[in-house]
Structure formats: structure tokens, C-alpha cells
């Protein structure tokens, strides 16, 4: 095995899908952020793409599980961002997140992770400033331009 193929074999990139939930109301366009379970940072609903599942469907499933949301997920992603995902072992692994917009139709009172996260609706500029990943911030602003 060559050094390059060994490096490629050892570097596993986690593939995830996420949703930027949004709604329009009297206050204008609002997006929903949730807190991560481990650090409490502001993030979007995101998770792994299961075998046989499209990234758009995975994003919608994560929005339900993590935030109790249902609505219309876009067919076309807003884009992709990368970040370092910290595993339980403490190792940081590179991850890509394919991000979709999700126009929220229903916000449920009960959902699987309701006791593990906080949720907050906010304007796009505030949300873009609160997330730690620069690539995600760019995608939020893009949603603000097109939604």
C-alpha cells in the first residue's frame, strides 16, 4: 500500500445532512437554532445520512428528532460546510454537512430530544453570528437572500 492510499484509508470523512428551519411572520424571516447536546453551542439540526436515505430526507428526520419540526424540505441543498466533529473518544474527525432549507409548517410540543436541547427562533443575521462554523454562517445568509 502506498503512503497516499494509507492516508486516504485512515482519513474517514463523516457525511451528514442538516436543515436550516425557517418561517415567515410579522417579524419577517426567522430561522430556528438549537443547542448541541454536549457543548450547548447554537447549531442546526443535523445528523448522519443512513443507507438508502437521501440527504434531504435525513435533514428532515433530524429536524423532527432534534427540534420537533415538520415542513417542506428543499430538493436542492443550500450548500455544504465542513467542521471538525468531536467523537466520544475525544478524537476530532472531519465532517461535511449538506444543508437544506426547511420551511416549517408544524412545531410539535413533544419530540424525541425535547429534554436535551434548547430551541430559539431568531433573525438570520443573529443566527449567522451565533453559529461557530463560518461555512454554516454563509449558508444562513444565503437562505436570507433567497427565502
Q: Are 28 and 124 in contact (CB under 8 A)?
A: no
Distance, in Å, from the CA atom of 22 to the CA atom of 87, rounded to the nearest integer, reads 29
Residue 10 has pLDDT above 60, yes or no: no
pTM here?
0.89
- In this predicted structure, the answer to whether residue 122 has a pLDDT above a threshold of 90 is yes
Query: What pLDDT, on a 0 to 100 scale, did the predictor assign at position 91?
Result: 87
Check pLDDT > 60 for residue 72: yes
- Contact between 31 and 103 under an 8 Å Cβ cutoff? The reply is no
Q: What is the mean pLDDT of the chain?
A: 92
Statement: 13-146 belongs to CATH 3.90.79.10:
yes
Q: Mind listing the pLDDT tens digit for each residue in 22-34?
A: 999 999 999 999 9
Amino acid at each position: 500500500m502506498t503512503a497516499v492510499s494509507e492516508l486516504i484509508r485512515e482519513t474517514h470523512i463523516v457525511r451528514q445532512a442538516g436543515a436550516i428551519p425557517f418561517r415567515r411572520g410579522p417579524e419577517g424571516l426567522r430561522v430556528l437554532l438549537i443547542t448541541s447536546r454536549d457543548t450547548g453551542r447554537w447549531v442546526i439540526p443535523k445528523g448522519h445520512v443512513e443507507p438508502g436515505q437521501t440527504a434531504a430526507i435525513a435533514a428532515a428526520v433530524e429536524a423532527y428528532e432534534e427540534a420537533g419540526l415538520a415542513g417542506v424540505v428543499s430538493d436542492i441543498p443550500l450548500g455544504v460546510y465542513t467542521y471538525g466533529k468531536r467523537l466520544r473518544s475525544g478524537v476530532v474527525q472531519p465532517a461535511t454537512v449538506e444543508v437544506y432549507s426547511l420551511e416549517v409548517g408544524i412545531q410539535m410540543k413533544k419530540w424525541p430530544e425535547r429534554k436535551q436541547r434548547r430551541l430559539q427562533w431568531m433573525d438570520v443575521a443573529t443566527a449567522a453570528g451565533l453559529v461557530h462554523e463560518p461555512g454554516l454562517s454563509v449558508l444562513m445568509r444565503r437562505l436570507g437572500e433567497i427565502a
